[in-house]
Structure 1
């Protein structure tokens, strides 16, 4: 239902820290019509060209990058809320980022909600060009 919210077009790119390319990032919107605390994000999965990123390499931020959390840390994060219409930035720690050229990047976002007993899952695969 909310698959069109997953993986915002044009947001996949390398990111740097202290002049070094540390990985790549992309943005997504919530797969629900209301905001939720980060503790209700059940899982986020990223795959590039069919190869899944390791869970421990994924970081997420909903405040423009001020605070970053691993998926395991997010299980206890109740003070940061992912609001409807606000992007979540998903980073994958991977030295050197993605190689130049075209890649198939798949993102899965799974959230729990207060009134629905099963998690909601959104999936989107995009062809991206890394310069």
Structure 2
């Protein structure tokens, strides 16, 4: 069952491959009530405890498939349903320390009934749009 917050408590943990911690992941649900075609998704950065991971460093897993930012822009036949979570993977040697973390995720989507998505940037140089924003959740825990 999905939590009401965009950033989900479930799924926040370190990524272990071949016995080594190689990064961390956080799960998010779509903020758009209809779901979104992946080519409409405008991924942004992930911030954990004040450390910024640019969108190019974030891999989005949706429907069991991994996508880079570039791959998302071309995935016009793949759909992210409102009832599914996306797993955002950030590869960072050692992952995150055990304990509490503050997490922010930024993403948006262009919508078919809204004016075309424009290259509009905020004060940090991130793309902005009519649908989306920065979502923050404090005291996420990795055990």
What TM-score do you get using the length of structure 1 for normalisation?
A: 0.86
Aligned to 1:13: 13
Aligned to 1:120: 131
RMSD: 1.6
The answer to whether the 8 A contact 2:53-2:90 is kept is yes
**Could you say which structure has the greater relative contact order, defined with CA pairs below 8 angstroms and 6 or more residues apart?**
1
Say whether residues 1:38 and 2:38 are aligned partners: yes
In structure 2, stretches of 5+ residues that fail to align are: 116-128
Give a deviation string over 1:52-80, Cα, whole Å, max 9, x none. 112221001111x3x20111221111122
In structure 1, stretches of 5+ residues that fail to align are: none
Specify the structure having the higher radius of gyration (Cα): 2
* Distance 1:19-1:79 versus aligned 2 partners, 3 A rule: farther
The answer to whether the 8 A contact 2:102-2:136 is kept is no
CA distance in 1, matches of 2:7, 2:100: 16
Give a deviation string over 1:5-33, Cα, whole Å, max 9, x none. 41012321111222221111111111111
Number of aligned positions between the proteins: 126
What TM-score do you get using the length of structure 2 for normalisation?
A: 0.79
